[in-house]
Amino acid sequence: MSRLIRLSVLLASIVSAAALHALELPNIFSDHMVLQRDQPLPVWGKAEAGAKVRVEFGRQSAEATADAEGKWTATLAPKSASAVPATLRVRSGEKEVLVQDVLVGEVWLCSGQSNMQMTVAQMLDADLVALGGANPLLRLHLVDRVASTTPRFSANSTWTHSDAKTIPPFSAVGFHFGSVLQRILGVPVGLVAASWGETPAIAWTRPAVLDKHPLFVQQIAEWEKGMQTFPERNAAYLARCVEWNKSKGFPPDAKVDHWTHRDAPKPPPYDPNGSKRPGNLANGMLATVAPFAMRGAIWYQGENDTEWVPEKYHERLRLMVEDWRVWWGNPNFAFGVVQLAAHSQPVDGPTNDGWARLRESQRQFVLADPHAGLAVALDIGEANDIHPFDKETVGQRLARWALADVYNKIKLRGGPEPVGATFTDAVSIRFDSVGTGLWAFSGPVLEGFTLAGPDGVFRAAKAEIKGKDTVVVSSPEVPSPQVVRYAWARNPRGANLVNRQRQPAPAFELRKPSSELTP
């Protein structure tokens, strides 16, 4: 009996060693994938330490040697777009891995939190979209949601064709974005969806980057303290919910909807799966696909970050994107940002809500980054749902930006963009991206503008379109304006500045250069 046990242990160790030294690719390299055209193509995996690895694709080949840990990377030369299925062949000694039905075209990452995660199946007319969306030249890779404190080698997901079965569980924003690109560019398009609801931007940034920045050291400490004190804070929250329900005439155990009732108790942050921990999604999800060659990323996130220094969001986003560009080895990695949609009950007067400040921080990030663009979603928000159903419009607006700025296929990237202002007794704002001219949509006059003078108090203002590209904003209550704001609220009622092509302007703030008013 002891001999059988020893033999079983020996056989198990032999099988384990063989598995350890087997040639292996992460699942981002799987049948039906799309490779990025016109860029170097890194291919990586595992093999026996010191083993020679040869990668072949078409008439090209590249070689690498596995390091002491068995890791290797080989880089193929750039390829032109091709819709003809081909095979990627990887060899090491007598071992071989074949990846079949490989196309070459455009590849994009679709990342962020719940509004990027929202699937086609959760949107309006999902059945019609799925039935009509089958496209052999559109390929999908949906990264499974895993948080990790160390980099994960491979996702438990593979590439698929876009068809009636694979479209419904995929990102709705990503699917509509990719569908427009594929149709207009006429080349294969691959979409890699990696998103997770209620996650902060720093969860998607590698820990090595976060550890070097004081701002993130502070937030990491806050996260750890928050996890330790959650039970106590949650008990207090539940007690507040009971009292709030009583004040509203609801049963004590009724669900508290803090999204639709602004005075409802807000639940304390909690992170049972680690998805909010700084760096955990960079490790658990992005590490499974980086540095797979891509044109860029579309990003719908920020709701979670409105709760933590929203006016500093552009700094967090900048460091994240810089990290991604280093990780992917692509300094021109394009980055499309969705400016947060309107949410909660509409507001008439000027407010200084965290959502408004974060939208401006998103805009400032895009202004400072020549490879970034902004897609406006103010007009498609829903007062009673933080997840607007209209994801098709968001995807189309992201595609419009990419087709204009990344691919040079069209001229109009989106709605009117403020490019400068002159402050006198009024504020004259000059706009770019005006198409055939500025317009007050769904009304005879412009709405949504406010002005503040030296006292820092914002008041509703009159706004008039002058010529093709200028808006003049004034108020008799603000004879010496220092700051002008547009659509400055979580859900600004009446904000209606568009161009004649009905593309909306973003929420924004412009300050007189000498102004020292605080946000």
Running DSSP on this structure, what letter comes out for residue 347? Answer: B
Q: Is 396 exposed, middle or buried (0-12, 13-18, 19+ CB in 10 A)?
A: middle
Cα separation, 122 vs 125, in Å, equals 9
pLDDT at 256: 86
pLDDT recorded at residue 214: 78
Provide the CATH number for the domain formed by 417-511 in this structure.
Answer: 2.40.10
CB 483 within 8 A of CB 512: yes
**Per-residue model confidence as pLDDT tens for the chain (519 residues):** 444 444 444 444 434 444 455 899 999 999 999 999 999 999 999 999 999 999 999 999 999 999 999 999 999 999 999 999 999 999 999 999 999 999 999 999 999 999 999 999 999 889 999 989 999 999 999 999 999 999 999 999 999 999 999 999 999 999 999 999 999 999 999 999 999 999 999 999 999 888 878 777 777 787 788 888 888 988 999 999 999 999 989 898 888 887 677 788 888 877 878 898 889 999 999 999 999 999 999 999 999 999 888 999 999 999 999 999 999 999 999 999 999 999 888 887 678 889 999 999 999 999 999 999 999 999 999 888 889 999 999 999 999 999 999 999 999 999 999 999 999 999 999 999 999 999 999 878 999 999 999 999 999 999 999 999 999 999 999 999 999 999 999 999 999 999 999 999 999 999 999 765 554
Give CA–CA dist 343/54, Å, rounded.
53
Residues of the chain with CATH 2.40.10: 417-511
Total residues found in the chain within this entry: 519
CA distance 364 to 509: 10
pTM of the model: 0.91
- The pLDDT of residue 487: 96
pLDDT at 17: 41
Under a CB-based contact definition with an 8 Å cutoff, are residues 272 and 135 in contact?
Answer: no
Contact 12, 20 (CB under 8 A): no
**What local confidence, expressed as pLDDT, does residue 516 receive?**
54
Closest CA to 27 of 154, 166, 195, 142: 154
Q: CB count, 10 Å around CB of 1?
A: 5
What are 381's two structure tokens? 């928000």
pLDDT score recorded for residue 19: 44
Question: If you ran DSSP here, which 8-state letter would residue 270 be given?
Answer: -
Structural tokens at position 509: 């703030």
